[in-house]
Amino acid sequence: MQVHLSVAPHGGQWRELIADSRRAEMLKEISMNLADITLTDHHLCDFELIATGAFSPLQGFMARADYESVLDRMRLQDGTLWPLPICLDVSETRARGLEAGQSVALRDPEGFLLAVMHVEDIWPVDKEKERRSIYDQGTGGNETDGGHPGVQHLMQRTKDFYVGGRIEVISLPLHYDFRSLRKTPHEIRAEYQKLGWQRVVCYQTSSVIHRCQYEVTLAAMRQAKANLLLLPTVGVARREDFDYYTRVRCYQEVMRHYPPETVVQSLLPRFMRLAGAREAVLGAIVAKNYGCTHYLHYPDADNSDSATEPDKKKRIIGSEEKETIDACSRELGLEIIQYDEMVYLPFEDVHRFIGEVDEGTKTIGMNGGEIRRRIRSGRIVPGWASFPEVLDELRKAYPPPDKQGFTLFLTGLSGAGKSTIARVLFSKMLERGDRPVTLLDGDIVRQNLSRELSFSKEHRDINVRRIGFVASEITKNRGIAICAPIAPYENTRSEIRAAIEAYGGFIEVHVATPLEECEKRDRKGMYAKARAGLIKGYTGIDDPYEVPEAPELRIDTTALTPDEAAHEILLFLGQKGYI
């Protein structure tokens, strides 16, 4: 394939990883007798960028020597600049069944064959070392307490072994959406050639482009005297993001505001590690492989709580982060444009970078996070903050609370009163009749969805996850799910919250009736049996109940009737606009 190469790919040459038809047929035959590794969503993102050359010069998932070198000095073993490990993690059971020198078939979650990987290394993951190397430089999150999403993924979801080796690609991952917008670096470079572009600035974002971000891209295009490549990331979403279907529709609306033939868009299936300067450098490498001459680094602080008051802390790129990025920019031969926060000057009706504003000038700012919160709560977003077409798309996908689906998730000890309150709420919601309502009580779910499960710790957790899944589907379809499981584990409740909040409201109600009161109400004598040792692993006796840290409501039913408790919940729903 002839490719426009005015900007050389990182490492100096293209890595052709997609096998020709003859080799692909041979690999398919071989794969029938190979062990399989099923790629998860974040693996598939890395795999696709390796396969298409966006992660050039990588020829597969990193072997140990490259991995160690990247952690220690931000370079591959051969000295090529590379900021972040791109590794394939597997369980200990899978790792024990593999050895260096053999080949494995890489498949998607549905079993579709994607590639054959020639294993070079298998080694245990040192998560603590990786965390220190990547995240202790300051990445805008709570690294020390594990609150940063990149740290959470590494410490909680990354499996215990890495497998590294070269891959031969048989097929790219299957996508059924936005096919015309999914272009490889080769295809994008050919488009530059067709349009006669020589200078291109790349902007990668997982956020909706509002007025502020639009003005920033225009400033970068003017500074670089370049056209724009917009690379929205559509890989593994952060919990806070709008879904990418909505975001892509918004990008298409924003594209109409740029001058004709100045912007090209392609979706980037990138798994973001959110690793500060290292993340920015990897973004610049991807931009270089897409043939760009410039890369725009503009963190929107999308997870922050900055609002419209002028005295709020602005998003300023730290000096150490700037120095690291500048040094890498020179080595890459690609200019990285770095801007601090842009704000709005209401009396002049213009947007300006915070460093260009005279002291004492009235400014207001509204980042993507604040706009997202306003959309989801049904509040007004001012016209200076975004485009009307974008806001229309967002409101269509995320209606105000009284039009959203939501989940009421009552959690607490057995006997706390959850089921009775849930039944009262169920009746009240049916009485209103404005949305379909489903009651997912623990006993009902046990009977209909989880009959085969025991009461072991593992099976109780599976039961709760099933409740969460059903509730998320109900919420997605704008219904009301009322759940009343014990749900003793904070981690599981957090996962369910994250899944449901992507589609609507999640209201966690801790029915905080004390254990002593619950034991008094124990009609079935389960607590007495657990105290006598006749039942093992009973929540509250010999298995812990992890008290919710920040529920929307906490209700002790010791001195409340079920009607009074339900009334408190209904008042809260009214206050938040759900009813």
The pLDDT of residue 458: 82
The pLDDT of residue 2: 42
The pLDDT of residue 6: 77
User: Nearest to residue 293, comparing CAs of 258, 332, 324?
Assistant: 332
Q: Where do the domains of the chain lie, and which CATH numbers do they carry?
A: 21-125+160-169 (3.10.400.10), 179-397 (3.40.50.620), 401-575 (3.40.50.300)
Residue 506 DSSP code: E
The pLDDT of residue 219: 96
- Show the DSSP H helices in 21-162 as ranges: 21-31, 41-52, 64-73, 92-96, 127-135, 149-152
| Cα–Cα dist 238/498, whole Å | 9
User: Nearest to residue 410, comparing CAs of 549, 510, 518?
Assistant: 510
Total residues belonging to the chain: 579
DSSP 157-171: IS-SEEEEEEEEES-
User: In the structure, how many helices (H) and strands (E) does the chain have?
Assistant: 20, 18
What residue ranges of the chain have pLDDT lower than 70? 1-5, 137-147, 237-240, 300-319, 442
The pLDDT of residue 238: 67
Sign of CA dihedral 352, 357, 361, 364: positive
Query: What angle (nearest 5°) sits at the alpha carbon of residue 159, between those of residues 154 and 163?
Result: 110
User: Nearest to residue 386, comparing CAs of 139, 131, 215?
Assistant: 215
User: Nearest to residue 428, comparing CAs of 377, 475, 480?
Assistant: 480
- Residue 572 to residues 73, 547, 569, Cα–Cα distance (Å): 52, 21, 5
Query: What angle (nearest 5°) sits at the alpha carbon of residue 66, between those of residues 173 and 277?
Result: 80
Query: What angle (nearest 5°) sits at the alpha carbon of residue 367, between those of residues 362 and 372?
Result: 135
Task: Name the pTM for this structure.
Answer: 0.81
Tokens representing residue 168 in the block: 């031969």
Coil/strand/helix, residue 261: coil
Return all residues near 352 (Cβ < 8 A) that are at least 6 apart.
342, 343, 345, 363
Phi, psi of 235 (to 5 degrees): -85, -130
What residue ranges in 208-307 does DSSP mark as E strands? Answer: 227-232, 263-265, 294-297
**106: enclosing H helix or E strand:** strand 103-107
| 61-106 pLDDT per residue, tens | 999 999 999 999 999 999 999 999 999 999 999 999 999 999 999 9
| 498-517 pLDDT per residue, tens | 889 888 899 999 999 999 99
Q: Helix 388-397 and helix 368-377: axis angle, to 10°?
A: 50
The pLDDT of residue 3: 42
User: Nearest to residue 236, comparing CAs of 269, 277, 203, 278?
Assistant: 269
Is 493:508 a contact under the CB 8 Å cutoff?
yes
Is 442:449 a contact under the CB 8 Å cutoff?
no
Alpha carbon 14 to chain centroid, angstroms: 30
| Cα–Cα dist 293/11, whole Å | 15
Return all residues near 503 (Cβ < 8 A) that are at least 6 apart.
405, 472, 475, 476
C-alpha distance across the termini of the chain, in Å: 59
